[in-house]
Each structure stands twice: as structure tokens, then as C-alpha cells.
Amino acid sequence: MKNLIGLIGGLLFSVGLVVSGMINPKKVIGFLDAFGDWDMSLAFVMGGAVIVNLIVFRLILKREPVYNDKHNLPASNRHITKRLVIGSVLFGIGWGLVGICPGPAIVNLVTLQKNAVLFVAAMLVGMLAFKYLDAFFAKESGE
Amino acid sequence: MDTIILPLTGGVLIGIASSFILLTLGRITGISGIFANSFIDFSAKAESWKYFFLLGLILGGIILKITYPEFFNYEISGSVSLIIIAGLLVGFGTRLGSGCTSGHGVCGLPRKSLRSFVATLSFMVAGIVTVYLKGLL
């Protein structure tokens, strides 16, 4: 059952990313070009998703999940760390350079464009690099 | 019209998808995490529903590519080195920062998570500054 849920969730999410235009790097860069020729349309993507979740999450979190014993959420949501900020800034730079974040990167594989495959491969290497440098970064930021 | 209706519809669908995952599995739909757990971390974090979620992402793309190819009428432009640098930054940054647009933005903001608010603000500002600086070159 969990696998079917995963599949349906992925399908819905994918359709949302495609229909909204989030998979199109030109639109994403247009959205991030706030000081230039700003295309605000993608603000409605995050807006729509956040509003739905703002309403529905409250109701959901009042009871146990249907196919799991309990909610499994990030432990702390107030602890601001260097890792959080530096990591997010690095991600933002990469996002701004090409206009692709992880979800759209995966969906874009279906275009079979060389750059789509290259991006996902580089993303994997970046994640792998983090896995092995993690201990070092944890020590550096004293966490 | 399309500049509001389509993004809003897509956004609502993304909201429904992540609400559905939280309702049924009690989990946050963070795609960078799901992807890394499945192909990098393995061990207990690589749960089978995550592979099926990623399969759903691909399947949805294939179905729409066949039925509505006009949604895919763009090119991912950039030199090989630019694509590699951006991919590395996105992969590394989302792991160090514990999430991306989906986990921190779509799921974290509605949970009123201060961490996700700071993360979302950080990657939005970094993205805007990057696009601005790239425009100057």
C-alpha cells in the first residue's frame, strides 16, 4: 500500500511541476530575475501549494497517519544553524545558475536532453560528496 | 490567463500531493531527501515508497510528454561546465541545508517551521542575486 501511495504522490507532484511551469528553467530564471524582466507567474505555484498545505496540514496533524504508526517529521524546526543557511545559499546559487531544483531535475529526465541527464548526474555527485564530507562540516560548524 | 491559472493549478496539485503523503504516510515530501535516501544513503532511509515516488515523478513526466508535449517546449541551456557546477551546488547544498524547494518551501512553510522559513529565504535570495549577477556578465 505504501508503494502505491508513493507512486500516486509522485504522479500528482509531477503533474503539478509540469503544468505549473516549474520544470521550465527559462520560467524559473524569469521568476528569479526580480531586478530585471520579472515574471511573477511562478509565485502562484509556491502560493497555491503553501495555501493548500497550510489548511490541510493542520487537519492532518491532529490524527495519526493512515498507513503509519506516527508522523515522522523533522525533529527541530527552530534551531537555525550555519549548515542550514550555507547549504541553502549554495543550493540557491545552483538553482539560479540553471533554473532547476531537485524535483524538476528528475522530471526533466523524460525530455532526454543531454543537460537534464548531466544535471542529475552532477546533483548525485554533489550529494555523494556531502555524504563523505559531512563529518568534516559538522566539526567545522561546531554542531 | 495562463500565467496565473496554470501555475496556480500546478501549485494546488503539488499541495495536494504533499498533503496526501503526509496524511497517509505521515512524512514530509522533500524531494532532495527522497532522492538522496534512495541513491546515496541507502540503509534504513531507502524505503521502498520513496523509489515508487520517484517512479511516479518520471511516469507523470512521460505521460504528459506524450499527451501535452507543448509543456516541454524549452531547452535547458548552459555550457557543460555550468550545468555540472549548478548540479553539484544543488546536490551538495540541499543536503547541507537539509532540504530544497519542496521540503522547506512547500512543506516547511505551512508547518510554520522557522528553519524552513530561513532556508527558503536563503535560497530565494541566493537565486535572485545569482540571476542578477549572471545578467551583468
**Res. B43 pLDDT band, cuts 50 70 90:** confident
Mean pLDDT is lowest, of A10-14, A27-31, A58-62, A101-105, for A58-62
Residue A138, chain B, CB below 8 Å: the answer is no
Q: Which residue has the higher pLDDT, A141 or B51?
A: B51
* pLDDT value, residue A141: 60
DSSP A12-44: HHHHHHHHHTTT-HHHHHHHH-TTSS--GGGHH
DSSP B48-100: HHHHHHHHHHHHHHHHHHHH-GGGG-------HHHHHHHHHHHHHHHHHTT--
* Contact assessment for residue B26 and residue A68, using Cβ atoms and an 8 Å cutoff: yes
pLDDT at A88: 98
Residues of chain B with C-beta less than 8 angstroms from the C-beta of A96: 126-131, 134
The rounded distance, in Å, linking the Cα atoms of B84 and B82 is: 5
Contact A33, A105 (CB under 8 A): no
Is the pLDDT reported for residue A20 higher than 90? yes
- The per-residue b/e assignment along B82-101, b for 16 or more CB within 10 angstroms, e otherwise, is ebbbbbbbbbbbbbbbbbbb
Confidence of residue A70 (pLDDT cuts 50, 70, 90): confident
Q: Is the pLDDT of residue B22 over 70?
A: yes
Cβ atoms within 10 A of the Cβ of A60, count? 20
C-alpha cell at A91: 543550493
For residue A128, name the pLDDT band (cuts at 50, 70, 90): very high
Among A43-57, A102-116, B34-48, B75-89, the minimum mean pLDDT is found in B34-48
Rounded to the nearest angstrom, the minimum Cα separation between B29 and chain A is 9
Q: With 0-12 CB in 10 A as exposed, 13-18 as middle and 19+ as buried, what is B110?
A: buried
A133 burial type by CB count under 10 A (0-12 exposed, 13-18 middle, 19+ buried): middle
Nearest Cα of chain A lies from the Cα of B135 at a distance, in angstroms, of: 9
- Which range of residues forms the domain containing residue B22? 2-136
Across all residues in chain B, what is the average pLDDT?
95
Of residues A8, A89, A116, nearest to B126 (C-beta): A89
pLDDT, tens only, B70-105: 999 999 999 999 999 999 999 999 999 999 999 999
Output the pLDDT for position A140: 62
Which band of pLDDT confidence, cut at 50, 70 and 90, is reported for residue A74?
A: confident
Closest Cβ opposite residue B61 in set A20, A47, A107: A107
Domain ranges for chain A, please list them: 1-73, 78-143
Residue A80 has pLDDT above 80, yes or no: yes
- Which residues numbered 56-115 in A keep a CB inside 8 Å of some CB on B? 56-57, 60-61, 64-68, 70-74, 76-80, 83-103, 105-111, 113, 115
pLDDT, position A142:
53
Verify whether the Cβ–Cβ distance A127 to B92 is below 8 Å: yes
Instruction: Kindly tell me if the per-residue pLDDT of B53 is higher than 90.
Output: yes
Picking from A26, A65, A88, the nearest residue to B26 by CB comes out as: A65
Rounded average pLDDT over B19-33: 96
CB interface of B with A, residues 49-68, below 8 Å: 49-65, 68
> Looking at the predicted structure, is the pLDDT value of residue A77 above 80?
no
Phi, psi of A72 (to 5 degrees): -120, 85
Residue B10 grid cell: 500546478
pLDDT of residue B1: 59
Q: Tell me the one-letter amino acid at B47.
A: E
CB B116 within 8 A of CB B109: yes
Nearest-by-CA chain A residue for B106: A50
Question: pLDDT category, A134, cuts 50, 70, 90?
Answer: confident
